[in-house]
Chain A
Amino acid sequence: MSFDAVAQQPKLQHLLQGVVAFAAVVCLILLALHRGPARRRGAAFLLLAPALLLLTAGLVLPGLRTLLLSFMDREGDARVGLDNYVWLFTDPEALIALRNTLAWVVLVPLLVTAVGLLYAAAVVRSRFRALALSLVLLPMAISFVGAGLVWKFVYAYRPAEADQIGLLNQLVVTFGGTPRQWLVESPWNVLFLVVAMVWTQAGFAAVLLAGAIGAVPGEITEAARLDGASPRQIFWRITVPLIRPTLLVVVLAEVIGTFKAFDIVRTMTAGQFDTGVIAHEMYDQAFRYGETGRGAALAVLLFALVTPVVAYRIRAQRSAG
């Protein structure tokens, strides 16, 4: 038993100091705002300044610096032109990461939306709707690291002679098969990682879609039913088109989230067995191998891939809202 309570004190003290310092800044801003009916621009400046300052120092400048670094060598000293980008599109490791990322970005949103839609449609009129939704939403509260462990355990491999400890191999053995190394056998192992990701995300989709389906006016479906439409027809021809905006939101959010997926890969395979993705390869290159330039190039690639999706989302939602 060891828990050093004394060692925790400086941490908590720093927490308190940090919060107080922040509170002081906020109070100053508020006090300044209270000095009479403010001139408009002054007030806007006061309110926006902290956020803009932080964004500039913490996001805009570092982003630009990464862009610069991607044209530099591993120490960040000498310019190497496009070498890092050439590496990115020729190195087998990097290409595998690229391939896997594309597989993730196609599969995750597709499966998440499909499962979420099916589940939402099934439970939306149920008495247990709240409970049912929280059951599938729970994996979202468990971290990606936790989710990675949960599924690593499901896929655990033991030789055929021994007792299985992984659920999947136990099922395989029960039905007369031989246990397999799910996380090792490429390229299918990518699929098994994707399952873990889908597991964490499907609840999010189900909640959003259940909300949207619930908002579809009862009169419309009722009218269709009286016209003799089958439930399936009602679902596909009426409900789905009506909730299209929400579907779009779900798909785009998943696409963006999936591009950046890192934790699950790191926990389950650490990018071994050809399961690497861009976000993980970037970490390996920049931090494990000390290849800062290559890492930066991977980050820029990620940026380039996400940009059109985010742009589309912002446009779609601004025109909708």
Chain B
Amino acid sequence: MRFGARLALAVTTLIVTVTACGAPHGGGSQPRAGQDCGPYARYGEHAGTTVTVYASNRDREADLFEETWADFAACTGIDVAYEGDGEFEAQIQLRVEGGNTPDVAFFPQPGLMERFARAGRLKPASAEVAALAKEGWSADWNGYATVNGTLYGTPLVANVKSFVWYSPAFFRDRGLSVPRTWAELMDVTEKVAASGVKPWCAGVESGEATGWPLTDWIEDVLLRQAGPDVYDQWVSHEIPFNDPRVIRAMDTVGSVLKNDRYANGGYGPARSMASIAYQEGGTPVLSGDCAMHRQASFYAEHWPEGTEIGPDKDVFAFLLPGTDRTSRPVLGGGVFAAAFSDRPEVRAFQEYLATADFATARMKKGPFVSANKGVDPADAATPVDRLSIQLLQDPKTQFRFDGSDLMPASVGAGTFWKGAVDWIGGKGTEPVADSVERSWPRP
């Protein structure tokens, strides 16, 4: 029994130690002296509460978010615990399944958000949030966050994907002007190619998302060639993925990107883009090894440090032209904020995110685009952001959301991306489109 006694003693000692370790530690933020909490009074007092936020935005984007809502947090007493994760798409599902659900998530794809709404995990937006959404965004934008007639979230970030980045100096030196129609664009392309420079460059490597810059290209061209209605039917699978009009759009893209005379400027043969990180895709524009790089407004973040953006600076962007001067189709994407819980502090935070005030405050901190009708383009941090906001607010713009973000994930984040990579690697258009069509999940 002596042995047993010793064991018991050891266990008791350990347990006492552990209990003693359990020192309480407080948290919560407090308003700084001299801070104007007036604008935040409507959100109420929630001292000592925490709202957890889970998103894919990291690095500087995340820092800017946190700086933006710092005042809100200080005035309401809510501790906003933000977590950005590069593996958001897979991890959000695991976290929800695993009972580690965040209070608020920023969904970069409406399709993903819809999955959680349909599964009954997301909380419908409160009446206040719905009112703000109605006031702030077009019916189109709110539609992306609506499932079966119920609004679940609000657009948080918007981006315009139909931009072509170029070097104004490069264009000036060669007497080129910014193209306003597709034919003019092809004209510029041919002129640059004739001068011995490959006109286009691209990088599509992006980890498990490799291929998305290519699917954006294809969507952009389909939207222009076939029009918004056909585009919508294609995204919702009312027409098959391999519809002849889609094939035609892909072939048009192919005539540029799969053409060794036109691409991949600064990086070698066209197929090299599969190895080039998308963040580096446009770098050759700066050195004059490539004339144009079609990439979203957020590419502004990826230019090497010190690159200046503007009509007479190092780089600038023009809108990928439509077939004629009158049409103005714009492809874009966005991030949506939706809540998994409905505690008062979560509601208050969600409400704050839905205001134009938040978007404006965020814009003043650094590069950011919001589709909110209440923001002033003049507040944008960069000229491209300003242009983006103007485009989004212009009633003549035919805005369409990135199709791959709306399709079922196994297609939009799977076979379509993979198919596009195979396609750039040399596979034919029809076999690729056919296999994506076959992979579409049956209802």
Contacts and interface: CB of A to CB of B under 8 A. Distances in A.
Interface of A: 6, 9, 13, 16-17, 20, 23-24, 27, 30-31, 34, 74-75, 91-93, 157, 159-161, 181, 183-186, 266, 270-274, 283-285, 287-291
Contact of B425 (A161, A186, A283): A186
Contacts, number: 102
Nearest to B268: A159
B18 A20 contact: yes
B14 A30 contact: no
A159 B272 contact: yes
Nearest to A159: B268
A272 B210 contact: yes
B19 to A, nearest CB: 9
A17 B268 CA distance: 58
Given A93-B415, A184-B425, A31 B266 contact: no
A247 B410 CA distance: 42
A39 B1 CA distance: 18
Contacts of A13: 18, 21-22
Given A20-B11, A20-B15, A186-B425, A287 B90 contact: yes
Interface in B359-393: none
Contact of B275 (A23, A184, A271, A291): A184
15 contacts: A16-B21, A17-B18, A27-B11, A31-B4, A74-B441, A181-B271, A184-B275, A184-B425, A185-B425, A270-B207, A287-B93, A287-B94, A288-B93, A288-B409, A290-B93
Contact of B3 (A34, A273, A274, A283): A34
B25 interface: yes
A273 B274 contact: yes
A242 B72 CA distance: 75
A184 B435 CA distance: 20
A183 B275 contact: yes
Contact of B414 (A20, A75, A288): A288
Interface in B401-432: 408-410, 413-415, 418, 421-422, 425
B46 interface: no
Given A157-B275, A272-B210, 13 more contacts: A24-B15, A34-B3, A74-B441, A93-B418, A161-B268, A184-B274, A272-B421, A273-B210, A284-B414, A287-B93, A288-B208, A288-B409, A289-B408
Interface residues of B, number: 45
A285 B410 contact: yes
Contacts of A27: 7-8, 10-11
Contacts of B33: none
B233 interface: no
A289 B425 contact: no
Interface of B: 1, 3-4, 7-8, 10-11, 14-15, 17-18, 21-22, 25, 89-90, 93-94, 115, 119, 207-208, 210-211, 266-268, 271-272, 274-275, 408-410, 413-415, 418, 421-422, 425, 435, 438-439, 441
A289 B93 CA distance: 9
Nearest to B431: A92
Listed from nearest, the 4 A-B pairs whose CB atoms lie closest are A270-B208, A289-B410, A159-B268, A157-B275
A6 B425 contact: no
Secondary structure type dominating chain B contacts: helix
A111 to B, nearest CB: 25
A278 B40 CA distance: 52
A282 B346 CA distance: 35
B211 A272 contact: yes
Contacts of B441: 74, 291
Nearest to B119: A75
Nearest to B211: A272
A74 B18 CA distance: 44
Contacts of A283: 90
A287 B7 CA distance: 45
B18 A288 contact: no
A64 B268 CA distance: 52
Contacts of B422: 186, 273-274
Contacts of A23: 11, 14
Contacts of A92: 435, 438-439
Contacts of B8: 27, 31
A288 B89 contact: yes
A20 B14 CA distance: 7
Contacts of B10: 27
A92 B210 CA distance: 18
A96 B358 CA distance: 47
B88 to A, nearest CB: 11
B438 A91 contact: yes
Contacts of A160: 268
A289 B409 contact: yes
A17 B15 CA distance: 8
Nearest to A280: B208
Nearest to A14: B18
A34 to B, nearest CB: 6
A184 B268 CA distance: 15
Given A270-B207, A273-B274, A287-B94, A16 B438 contact: no
Given A20-B15, A91-B439, A273-B421, A157 B272 contact: yes
Contacts of B208: 266, 270-272, 284, 288
A13 B3 CA distance: 28
Contact of B18 (A16, A181, A266, A284): A16
A93 B439 contact: yes
A102 B119 CA distance: 36
A16 B267 CA distance: 54
Contact of B210 (A24, A266, A270, A289): A270
Contacts of A285: 410
Which residue, of A13, A23, A159, A186, has the highest number of chain B Cβ atoms within 10 A? A159
B91 to A, nearest CB: 8
Nearest to B1: A34
Which residue, of B14, B275, B439, has the highest number of chain A Cβ atoms within 10 A? B275
A20 B17 CA distance: 10
B439 A289 contact: no
Which residue, of A20, A93, A272, A274, has the highest number of chain B Cβ atoms within 10 A? A272
Contacts of A284: 208, 414
